[in-house]
Every structure is written in C-alpha cells, then in structure tokens.
Chain A
C-alpha cells in the first residue's frame, strides 16, 4: 500500500478534465463530460496509479443519467469519475477496450437504464430475461409496469 492521494494532488493532475471534490476521506470525485471521460479514465490509470475498476454506478436523477466510474489503486483512494448523460440521447463511449470488467457492467446498465455504449463488442441482454420488452428500462424513474405488457414468466390465462 502507498500513501493515500490528496485532493490537491488529484485536482491539479485532473485539472483539464473537470473539477474535483472530496466526498469522503478516501474518495475523490471528478466531474467531467461524456466527451472527456475516456481520456480522463486513461489519464487516471496512467498518472494517478489506479489499477482496477471497482464498479460503474448509475443514478437516474430525473434530468440526466449519472454514471460514476470508480477506480482504485495501491493508494487505496477511490477515484470516482462522474459524467452526466442526457436522457434524450443516452449514449456514451464504451470503456470495455481499456478496462475489460467494464464490459459486463455496461451490459447490465444497458439492460436496466437503456444507455447505449458505443463500441461495445456485444451489448446483449444479461440481467433481464429474454422475454422482457426491448424498449422498457425498469430502473428509470419514470418506468411504470404496464398491465397489458408481457414481461416473461407464466402468461395470463386467455392471452
């Protein structure tokens, strides 16, 4: 283990990608834009000594979809790179080329939120069953179960 990263150090290094803030004693969040996210992650891997993707968290805040890429390294400081994706055109570049574990998380997010990841090698269903309607994304805040839609499982009698 190496000494933890400080906010000043990270803020200075990641200055070109956006602002940094200290969310917790061991977690620093950097707000960036969907265009810069790929470079920001590459830069964090090369310069901040991060070596592993912990997870990609997703939040639907009603206005946009927030994606947070949590990276960690020998310094044991979580670097969260946060981007907001517009609801109307939910698409962003896939990170699976640089970070292989992103592939499975992106497939999950694609199933549940309907965010498209450009350049993903196989963005097929993984979490939802094969009968789930392709245009419904259950973790979006405005999703409501439609009583007339078939979501899989046993069909109602007479249908």
Chain B
C-alpha cells in the first residue's frame, strides 16, 4: 500500500473506533429521530436537531427520565422520503429505539409511518399536514398545528371583520399547495366565499399579473396568500405597487422577521396567524404559554446563537410530550408510553396547549394561533385573538 493510502485507511479506522467508543459509552432509553438536516428542507431539520440535542443534554444533566439517561440517535434523510424510510428501518431493527420523535416533512413522515406502525413504536412527527393524524393511527402523533387550523384562524378573523368574499393567491410549492387545498375545503363551513383564485411558482419574481386579475374582480373584500419563502414578500410588494387597498392576509408560513425585512414598508397592515413562540416578548404576562416560550427562546438563542423558529419549537414539544408520557408511565415500555401520550392533557408547549385523545393525536385548537398585524415594521397582537 502506498503511504498516502495507508495513512487514509489508518485515519478512517481510527475515527470509526473513536466514534464507536463514544457511542457505546452512554445511555439507556433510546430515542430515535430522522430529520432533514441537510437538503432543501434543512430549514426545518436543522433547528429541530439542535433543539433535540440541547434538551436531551439538559434532561440527562438533571438525571434523565425515571432514573435512566436518554440517548438520542439522529439520522439525516437529506429531504428524501426514501432515505427516511431506510433510516426508520435502521432505528427499529438495529438501534432498537424505545420511541421516535422526528420526520421533518410530511412526505418523509408518511413514508416512515408503516415502519413504526408495524413495529409498534410511538412516533411523534414534526410535520405539518393533516394526513398524518387523519385517519388516526394508533402509534402516530404530531406536534405542529395543521394548515387547516391556519385557514380557520384567518377565516374567523375575516368573518369578524365581515369580509366574507375573498380572493386566494397561493404558491405551488408543497406548503402553499397543501394550505390552499385546506383553505378551499374549510371555506364553506367558515362562511367564506372564494370568488377567484390565482397561483404562482415558488421562484417567480413578479406576481403583478395575478394581482391585477384579482384587483379587477368585482366584490372581493380581502386577499389571502397561502405561501412560503420569498413569494409572499413579492406578493405583498406588488400588492402595494398596484395600489390595492383591500386587507391582505398572509399565512403562518411567513411568520418570521425575514418577511418584514423582505417586504419592507409594504408589509404595513398585513395580518397573519402565528404561534406564540414568535411573539414571546409580545405576549401578555398572564398568558400561560409565556414562561415556556420565553424560556425556550432564551435557551435556544444562548446555545446556538441563532434566532428561534417555530420548527425547533415543534421538536421541543415532541420531546417534552414524550418525556412526560414516560414519566407518567414510570417506564419506557412502548405500549404504556403510547397510552400516556394519548392521555396528554394540558401540556403547555411552544405550539399551544395540547389535549390529546384517542380521536385527536395532535391536541391543538385554534387558540394555538394568535392573529398578528404588522405595524411600524414589527408584530402587534390583534386584540381579542
């Protein structure tokens, strides 16, 4: 073997031995996770992974759960449902985990569900779509609110302002599409009439034609924009450029400071639903979620140096719901833990107050969302929401 090859081989073997040693040294309750840490969905997976690591360490420092330390095993699916499925099999067959918290995207979650259902292992997903918990599957739970709830929250606000005829303009990305479908399906029940609909591609840079169509449509009283990323910011700018004065509603998908920066002064007066986490400092002192979200924001910012996102919050909720269920079950027995997760009542998390039941494996209601209005370049809480 030439020297360079010999060196490489020795180094690699050395590394493997070192990491294997670190791996074997710790822990008893194994918690598995498959997250999209890299790839197109890394904005979800990255904060989720950091959150799980921070809190598993914190829990272990306080003595673990039921006297046993937690061991977290995270795999990166790179945003591919196929990889997620392989890692799920690996967690079940090789790592023999007691419970699973993870699945950043709906696609990867749906691909992993059969693995955990077959193995009878509690699975708390961090992905959004309602298909994950509807129909209810015995072993599958989720922490994030659904798009459907965001639609309902927006529609409730529209209804209270008597703006019942609206136009919809949505992105064709996964988020925009899923939310648009939910909005269309809940609109009749909410007493909202969708008069016209437009869409745009995730990388479009000008939505003036679609918005012109909406402006020319008679009877429209407000515009709702289910979308994610920079699309909604462009919609907002074009909206003002065209001089449209109808109230504009954005979705929880853009509930970040970045949106206000991108849209600039055009964002003034835009309303959107958002989880408590984003407005931790704006919540009234008597809000039950206030201590939780302030505490989580502080820890996360301190440990990572980055701003919090709701996605990391979903991971926090998933882990805490699981840990509390294990404490109530006084063991890590899969069936007992599953039963206890289902009995979760009054858990106060970053996403809202969770009350699960055999028919509801998410346990959030509309109070999980707060209606925000952008004023002076910052969020303000809309009173009464």
Asked if A and B bind, the verdict is no
- Which residues does B use to contact A, with CB under 8 Å? none
